[in-house]
Structure 1
């Protein structure tokens, strides 16, 4: 079996995970699912980076040990990946004993090979970036020397360090880039690294002595290994190197390192040089993608947009977020996560195109063939158009996915979705269904539609796994998880004679006028908080005003028993139900009530309820309401008030 080893960067546990840090992991999961579907033995790795001065300082600020802080934050990443249904095969932590042993073995091998020497470092150090900078590299801002990467102030440091002879590998790296043009993508990221190589690499300081939260240097424990050297070695330690060489040799070299563009230099220059030093093969490909912004702004706690992806998932669904990230953001370039664009894409692609296709097709099968998949009968040229497009789409989709051109892959797939919808209009099954002599032709049309839907579901499964399973289940396919494999992506494999399951539409339209978006900037949140405060004050004032009322006022309220004769939902409203009531001597009465979220209309007919019979008429959604029913609400549960005994409609409550 072919193997595929894919990794994300391991995430530094100095901040909570957010949609930006989740992006790479989601992409890695999609690639892993795709490769598994294509028959690969996949090993998908992610994890957390837990050493360094930043972690030590953060732990001290909290009054806890560094290990306690790491356990807490690493656990949050683990939980998030589980909630996002990430299918990683292993989660590595740099505080794992096995990993630290591997780091020491790896560095000792570099030392034995003559690639590490002891020296003295003098230069500018950025604690947040855990990086040294030369005088030429640092920048000035407001009279202070600042880090060129993060813009924060740097400190002058002088300390004894061990150095890696990175300069020794300048030419070997250039040669590797020349001989392996696809080693680093996108192309413009490769060009950035080639410029660095042209200017010449400098030896790298790989130990620190000013703190002790890290992996001790072999045979010199007063030095701890530089956090980046420590972190990079996770890609081999997670495979058991050097103790479990069988597993290591099975999966190494990595087929794909997924990284953000800001850590390109570490992965594309330093890591390959380290591997050359110890004599291990280099990864086959490194892909440095761009950054995410949210609604056009950089992700930042101060802006209030470092949003937990689970909030988005709760609002829109896991599959929708995955689809949007790959469909609208070109992998490799910077991209913006726009909630407005997400909603537009959802209503257009997922509701209008995909969900509508599935639901209308299954509805017709139910209408014309009692919900049973028919046999193929009479064929026409338009059928070949659909089949040709299916075959070409499969080829294009797989080609794009293999090249990590996800936006192109999904666009090619949606061409098939749209044409399958068009196929319905071209074949006009509603006319075929009126003519018994066209039954054979109608069966072919229905079969072709469902077979196309089946293949669409299989192709979309790496991106939208839950949606794919739901659609395949609607087609009557059993063991749907096992069904998602390459050999089933062929025309004509749908079984006839199987009962379909219509159920609810796969996706339901979002009413943009009523929908409350979940991403709010800090200023928006403040405004909402103020509005809430005002509402609460008003509520308290209303409570105070209405605590005591005069008995004469209460006597004016005409409470009656009413029997519900008819009930129906008000069109274009999610909450309102229109009721026709019998109030005995007061006659028939119509009222409108906001109870649609708690009662189905058909379950209300025959109930006897309590209403205010002398309320002034009002109009709701243009419908006149003559009265108000009484109900009690606790939490999310609402219960209509009724009587203990079976009393005639119109009886007065006193």
Structure 2
């Protein structure tokens, strides 16, 4: 349906249209061009005034927009229309990844009413990777989602601590304890090991596809899927018993588990970057995890490679709503001083 492009307010850009004297351009009509102007300014400040054109005219470049559902028309109709109207062959939006709303304890978030938790407060309460994981794993991609302390604690405890962290710690501490902190030499991969490694390859590729398509919630679930695969594999093979009766088979089990751990450090990096970097360092691998190509996830850790000392990556959160609310209020009072 028709949408007004001007407003009867004095603040704003004067409308340059016939018979629009005294009107200003509606903010969402001119604001979306800020994506272009911000890119221009960025490259000017870096001493490369022509660099912005690689983003807006190079047909290999793709622009992605992460917005709330209320801003869909401005990014899928207004912005493309403005770019096309220039007749300068700008790249049009490639993917507008819009979401439903994240509510706070069943209510719409409001800064003025202090309904919600703001990033500066959040970081005083828990590490950034806790928040990053929760927000991505519960991203409202198809319907509104909700934050409560109970839901937050459940996601952190069940996914990060009990699934991801548990598998990594079980594997690496076993290597520390029984193989002098070196990746053991496998004695020969049996059907189960081949199945696990095949599943790992498939999952790594699926996660890559999810990231490319901006299916971030699915990507987060895929990362945890590798953790679940690893825990199930260890539970089935029971290396803690094998080490007593058949050290060679235990070595094979842990060798395969170590490959999953390395893959986790790569595929989790976009979601929990600080934890991924810590894990990369514990694996004693060169450089930073954030310098690696995706393909590195499936390059095996060689037998004999020495790792560092395993440490727990996460800690559980006590799902006490009252206590957590009190912690938040304490942070707010301290920040208000």
Q: Normalising to structure 1: TM-score of the pair? A: 0.45
- If each structure's helix is expressed as a fraction of its own residues, which one has the higher value? 2
Deviations 1:453-512 (A, max 9, x none): 1101211110110111111111121212355322302142x1333332234300122233
Distance 1:509 1:278, change over 3 A: same
Shift of 1:425: 1.9
> Match of 1:434, SS?
helix
2: CA distance, partners of 1:365 / 1:205: 64
User: Structure 1 residues 417, 362: CA separation in 2 closer, same or farther (over 3 Å shift)?
Assistant: same
**Contact preservation (8 Å) 2:150, 2:321:** no
SS at match of 1:488: helix
User: For residues 119 and 313 of structure 2, what CA distance do their matches in structure 1 show?
Assistant: 22
In 1, Cα distance between equivalents of 2:205 and 2:326: 38
CA distance change for structure 1 residues 347 and 249 in 2, over 3 Å: closer, same or farther? Answer: same
Q: Aligned to 2:183, what secondary structure does the other structure show?
A: coil
Of 257, 260, 263, the residue aligned with 1:452 is: 260
Query: Displacement, 1:400?
Result: 1.9
Structure 2: distance between partners of 1:216 and 1:302 = 30
Q: How far apart in 1 are the matches of 2:115 and 2:239?
A: 49
Q: Give, in angstroms, the shift of residue 249 of structure 1.
A: 2.8
Query: Over alpha carbons, which structure has the higher Rg?
Result: 1
- Deviation, 1:519, is 7.9
- Structure 2 residue 313 is the aligned partner of structure 1 residue 485: no
Alignment of 1:472-621 (within 5 A): 472-492=280-300, 494-512=301-319, 516-518=323-325
Normalised TM-score (structure 2)? 0.83
SS of residue in 2 equivalent to 1:509: coil
Which residue in 2 is equivalent to 1:270?
A: 78
Kindly indicate whether the alpha-carbon contact (under 8 Å) linking 1:359 and 1:502 is maintained by their aligned counterparts in 2.
no
- Deviation, 1:406, is 1.9
Change (3 A) 1:227 1:350: same
Cα separation, 2, equivalents of 1:301 and 1:255: 30
Structure 1 contact 373–499 (Cα < 8 Å) conserved: yes
Aligned pair 1:311/2:121, yes or no?
yes
Of 334-343 and 220-229, more deviation after overlay is shown by 220-229
Residue aligned with 1:489, SS: helix
Query: Which one of 412, 429, 440 corresponds to residue 222 of structure 2?
Result: 412
Q: Within 1, Cα distance between the matches of 2:319 and 2:149?
A: 11
Take 1:207 and 1:275, find their aligned partners in 2: how far apart are those partners? 22
Unaligned runs of 5+ in 1: 1-195, 530-654
Match of residue 585 from structure 1: none
Partner of 1:326: 136
| Structure 1 SS opposite 2:298 | coil
Residue number among 357, 362, 373 corresponding to 2:172 in the alignment = 362
Aligned length: 318
2:327 and 2:141 mapped to 1: Cα distance?
25
Q: Which protein has greater RCO, CA pairs closer than 8 Å, 6+ apart?
A: 2
Counterparts of 1:298 and 1:439 in 2: how far apart (Å)? 57
Residue 260 (structure 2) pairs with residue 462 (structure 1):
no
Mapped partners of 1:334, 1:511: distance in 2: 25
Which residue of structure 2 lines up, in the alignment, with residue 251 of structure 1? 55
Could you tell me which residue of structure 2 aligns to residue 230 of structure 1?
30
| Map of 1:395 onto structure 2 | 205
Q: Any idea what SS the aligned residue of 2:51 has?
A: helix
SS of alignment partner, residue 39 of structure 2: coil
What is the rounded CA distance, in whole Å, between the counterparts of 2:247 and 2:67 in structure 1?
55
- Give the match's secondary structure for 2:65: strand
The structure carrying a bigger strand percent of its residues is 1
CA-based RMSD of the aligned residues comes to 3.1
Query: What residue in structure 2 maps to residue 423 of structure 1?
Result: 233
